[in-house]
Amino acid sequence: MSDLLHAAIIMDGNGRWARERGLPRIAGHHEGASAVRRVIEAAPDFGIGTLTLYAFSEDNWTRPEREVSALMKLLGRYLVQETKRCMETGVRLQAIGRRDRLPAPLVSLLEESERKTAAGTRLHLRLALDYSSRSAILDAARRLSASATEESFSKLLGPDVDLLIRTSGEQRLSDFLLWECAYAELVFTPRMWPSFTREDLAACVEEFYRRERRFGGIRPVEDVLRSA
């Protein structure tokens, strides 16, 4: 088993960050894109081998059409700007979630980025777009037979999450990686996503390593006596 962590982040608080500064919501999303870059660059330094970012949920389609359109354009610009950087720094990009409702030009950019970054080994970056964990679980169930095992089910959904981070003070999963987070350590921070820094990521990883992960078991008696 790899010692590298799978960290997942619910990037929350872009709109509130902008509102507190008297700016339009899209300004928060633009600043949030800068936070994405900071975290991607820092993640491998903290032992993170897989990073899953909740970029756009299935529920986000209910937002005003103007904001959704701006988000789609921002995602497209991000892919254009960052694909080369990903190739140079060994980042492999993969999109998870539905693609049939995304704008066709954005889907083309995603596929191109995935193809160009396929050889990256330093960090596996997964962008959750038009994503719903319930939908992903249902889709996996439909694809498997009655003889399915937990292992075969997990292969269709993705790797287990070690550390789940949510910014902006909210404390819920919001339909994100529900199966994969079965034994994840959850860290909730009041920091708004656009203000999230390398130091914030380091603090979350440090908190992860302070936790005692028993996976439903108990500590061996000798370990308890040794720490007493």
Contact indicator for 123, 91 with CB cutoff of 8 Å: yes
Known catalytic membership, residue 100: no
Instruction: Report the distance separating Cα 6 and Cα 207, nearest Å.
Output: 15
Contact indicator for 48, 7 with CB cutoff of 8 Å: yes
Contact indicator for 167, 189 with CB cutoff of 8 Å: yes
The Cα-based distances of 133 to 15, 126, 144, 165 in angstroms read 23, 14, 17, 16
Q: How many other CB atoms are there within 10 angstroms of residue 59's CB atom?
A: 12
* Catalytic site residue from 3, 45, 60, 175: 60
Known catalytic membership, residue 45: no
DSSP 187-228: EE--S-GGG--HHHHHHHHHHHHHS---TT----HHHHHHH-
Contact indicator for 128, 174 with CB cutoff of 8 Å: no
* Catalytic site residue from 12, 130, 162, 200: 12
Contact indicator for 112, 80 with CB cutoff of 8 Å: no
> What is the set of active-site residues?
12, 60
